[in-house]
Structure 1
Amino acid sequence: MTVTIRDVALRAGVSKTTVSRVLNGRGELDERTAERVRAVIDELGYVPSARAVAFARGSTRVVAMLLPSLAWPWMGEVLQAAVEVVEDEGYGMLVFTTTQGDESMRRFGAHVSARAFDGLLVVEPEGQLDYIAQLHDQGLPVVLIDDRGHEPRFPSVTTTNRVGALAAAQHLLSLGRRRPLVVTGEPRFGCIGERLAGFADGYRAAGVELDPALRVEGDFTYESGQAAAVRALEAGLEFDSLFAHNDVMAAGAMTVLRHAGLRVPDDVAVVGFDDLPAAAQCDPPLTAVHQPIREMGATAARMLLANFAGDPLPSAPTVLPTSFTVRASTAG
């Protein structure tokens, strides 16, 4: 039969509150009473539930992370970095996705109501910013990872999308490439507008206006990168370079270019965005804007844990800079 806190209290001749205080080291207690309670705990083999201890302490020592999907190419990187920081500090991690839409959010909301975690890291599920902001306003510590250009009214960690795209333009211009095909992500994400603007800024500064016909929309998948390259080639568009808004689309496009008999980088120089570990494994290895994905996940986790220790969360976004990695897809 399971031993309960009531059993301990009865055997020790104290209240359940006194037993709870002994377990959690809270409140002033007569040392002889505390010793008696501890002896009974040992005698009966009482093991308090993690949930009961968490409730008594006012802390679960658990962090939640809400993600749109684990299938996104860079999601594993940001998740792993956050988990490493959280676990190094002795916290656990609950991971939620929104792959089942409203049902996923109902399950997540039930855990919020049960106070199953102390704070939340979130990569914004589409259409949920207002709900996440409401949780923050109600007192739940929240940090958003990758604001996608939406500038939420709660703490966030983001990167320099516009500056990164500018670097891509400047690199291609330095190679004499003046007719880039741009494979965009979905325009509903604010970061896509920033990447388009930064890339155009670079060419405009060199006196080149980008040809609107050389812009093809993708959806961040390998297949959409392939489709974008196929459409451009079938339309007879002339381009000497390609800038894709993520590495995966760049890899898909390079496959099509190679099958069409075009050489990368001799005929078409290719640049991606993210610089995931797989970028170095492409054929040829992919030049890419390096988005500090792991650093973003780790920084957000450290901010949240510091808040648990009493530090206020920053009121302004924390912006980590992009960098640029040159490989054989442009270097020749």
Structure 2
Amino acid sequence: MSITIADVAARAGVSKTTVSRVLNGKGELDLRTAERVRQVIAELGYVPSARAVGLARGRTRIVGMLVPSLTWPWMGEVLQGAVDVVESEGYGLLLFTCNRGEESMQQFASQVSAQSFDGLLVIEPEGTLSYIEQLHARGLPVVLIDDRAKQPLFPSVATTNRAGGASAAQHLLELGRRKPLVITGVDWFGCTQERLAGFRDTYAAAGYELDPRLVLEGDFTHESGRRGVQQALDAGLEFDAIFAHNDLSAGGAIQAVREAGRTVPDDVSVVGFDDIPYAQHTEPPLTTVHQPMRRMGQAAARMLMSYFGGEPLPEEPEVLPTTLIVRSSTAPTRPSTPDRPTVPAGAGH
């Protein structure tokens, strides 16, 4: 059986509080009593848990992390970034998902009540922002990762979604692509709105208004990219490029274009967003906007570590830049027929 602090206290003839004070160097203690406790600890081979020591010091040395799901394509990169920093500082990470909806949130709330962690990293599950804001207002340090433009009342780490959308548009314009199909993410996400705004504004500045019929809402899945292309084809709409709001939907779009008998990138150039490992393995490899997801996880974790070290949490979001990564899914419009519709009406039927 494992040795407990109660065993040490009983053998030394002192209270558990006295043993705790010896372990943590807190309070005035008789030197002979302290030495006797240390001797018993050595004799019994007692190893205090990090949690026990942390609680005695008023600190668990655990960071909580709340995320919607582990199935999101870039989630692993964010988690690894956070773990890189947390573990290097001698902390542990307690991970919570919302896979079971309300049941998951109740379990999370019970851990909050038990003060199981010192601070919280959040990739906001849908509908939880006001609750997280309440936790922060009650004194729990919180840092939001992937700020969805809702400007919460606590620190956040975000990326340049609008600039990323603009860089995708500029790239396609430079290639002579004038009729883009846009397959967005979920409409209520701030990142979706910003990516679309950056893309649309850049085309407008060049004298090209997006055809509203070619702006279709997706849900960041492979199937939504495939479905968006098929919807445009079924409607007889012409387009020579596709901007998908993530790499999975871009991959689905590439598949649908090829199934319609057209080529990528010559007939239709395709740009994604995220730069997950999958982007390098589409056929052809995907041009995409790189999000520094691992760095975002690291930056958020550093905010908490700095706070634990006595620095105040920053009032302004930390924003990390996106970068356009050009691969083989984009190419110039064929010079011989620059105005030729790439996907003619009725293609794919």
Q: 2:344 is matched with which residue? A: none
- Partner SS for 1:255: helix
In 2, the alpha carbon distance for the partners of 1:45 and 1:72 equals 44
In 1, the alpha carbon distance for the partners of 2:5 and 2:240 equals 74
More displaced stretch, 34-43 vs 131-140: 34-43
Q: 1:208 is matched with which residue? A: 208
More displaced stretch, 83-92 vs 171-180: 83-92
- Partner SS for 1:328: coil
In 2, the alpha carbon distance for the partners of 1:313 and 1:289 equals 29
In 2, the alpha carbon distance for the partners of 1:169 and 1:105 equals 39
Residue 277 of structure 1 deviates from its aligned partner by 1.8
Residue 50 of structure 1 deviates from its aligned partner by 4.2
Q: 1:286 is matched with which residue? A: 286
Q: 1:166 is matched with which residue? A: 166
2:169–2:202 CA contact under 8 A, matched in 1:
yes
For the pair 1:108 / 2:108, whether they are aligned, the reply is yes
In 2, the alpha carbon distance for the partners of 1:40 and 1:108 equals 38
2:177–2:240 CA contact under 8 A, matched in 1:
yes
Residue 309 of structure 1 deviates from its aligned partner by 0.9
Q: 1:193 is matched with which residue? A: 193
In 2, the alpha carbon distance for the partners of 1:3 and 1:233 equals 70
For the pair 1:9 / 2:16, whether they are aligned, the reply is no
Residue 3 of structure 1 deviates from its aligned partner by 4.5
Q: 1:331 to 1:27 in 2, by over 3 A?
A: farther
For the pair 1:134 / 2:134, whether they are aligned, the reply is yes
For the pair 1:180 / 2:180, whether they are aligned, the reply is yes
In 1, the alpha carbon distance for the partners of 2:2 and 2:41 equals 13
In 2, the alpha carbon distance for the partners of 1:229 and 1:4 equals 63
String of CA shifts for 1:232-251, please: whole Å, max 9, x gaps.
11211100100001111000
Paired residue type of 1:84: D
Residue 135 of structure 1 deviates from its aligned partner by 0.6
Task: Write out aligned runs for 1:1-332 (5 A).
Answer: 3-331=3-331
TM-score normalised per structure 2: 0.91
In 2, the alpha carbon distance for the partners of 1:2 and 1:200 equals 64
Q: 1:231 to 1:2 in 2, by over 3 A?
A: closer
Root-mean-square deviation (CA, aligned residues, Å) is 1.5
Paired residue type of 2:99: T
Aligned residue-pair number: 332
Q: 1:218 to 1:7 in 2, by over 3 A?
A: closer
More displaced stretch, 15-24 vs 282-291: 15-24
In 2, the alpha carbon distance for the partners of 1:4 and 1:184 equals 56
2:266–2:331 CA contact under 8 A, matched in 1:
no
In 1, the alpha carbon distance for the partners of 2:323 and 2:4 equals 57
Residue 32 of structure 1 deviates from its aligned partner by 3.0
- Partner SS for 1:144: strand
Q: 1:91 to 1:260 in 2, by over 3 A?
A: same
In 2, the alpha carbon distance for the partners of 1:35 and 1:313 equals 41
Paired residue type of 2:173: L
